[in-house]
């Protein structure tokens, strides 16, 4: 399912990672493969991002199978396993619900696309500067 550019802007505005540093990372983190697939498809369709340029990072619990999680996310998002960065392994305990394939972040590093998306959000929703 392809979403509109506007729907993708809403998705990113609501769920996208908000960096406070000037690293210009465009990222979305989720346990839901469908949400991430829609996000990745949106980036490729409207911002012409190549799937090979998208990096994935897992946050998984110590007792989970990292290789199986990478295969799962790679298959669902159609992004090569080589695009995974170092996984963050969470220690045992602290959380009652453990997601079997962990939490996945799909991201690109691009000042141009980061700036364009934020400008598109501002223009589409008639936002004023907060300063």
The total of structural domains in the chain comes to 1
C-alpha of 63 from chain center: 24
For 25-35, what is each residue's pLDDT tens digit? 999 999 999 99
Q: By residue range, what is the domain housing residue 80?
A: 5-124
66 lies in some domain: yes
CATH number for position 98? 3.30.1330
For 95-123, what is each residue's pLDDT tens digit? 667 789 999 999 999 999 999 999 999 99
33 lies in some domain: yes
131 lies in some domain: no
């Amino acid at each position: 399912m392809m979403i509109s550019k506007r729907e993708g802007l809403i998705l990113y505005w609501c769920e996208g990672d908000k960096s406070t540093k000037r690293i210009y990372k465009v990222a979305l983190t989720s346990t839901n493969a469908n949400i991430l697939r829609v996000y990745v498809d949106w980036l490729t369709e409207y911002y012409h991002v190549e799937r090979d340029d998208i990096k994935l990072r897992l946050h998984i619990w110590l007792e989970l199978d990292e290789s199986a999680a990478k295969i799962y996310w790679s298959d669902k998002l159609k992004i090569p396993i080589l695009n995974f960065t170092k996984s963050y392994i969470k220690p045992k305990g602290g959380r009652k619900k453990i997601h079997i394939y962990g939490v996945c972040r799909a991201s690109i590093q691009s000042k141009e696309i980061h700036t364009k998306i934020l400008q598109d959000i501002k223009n589409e929703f008639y936002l004023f500067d907060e300063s």
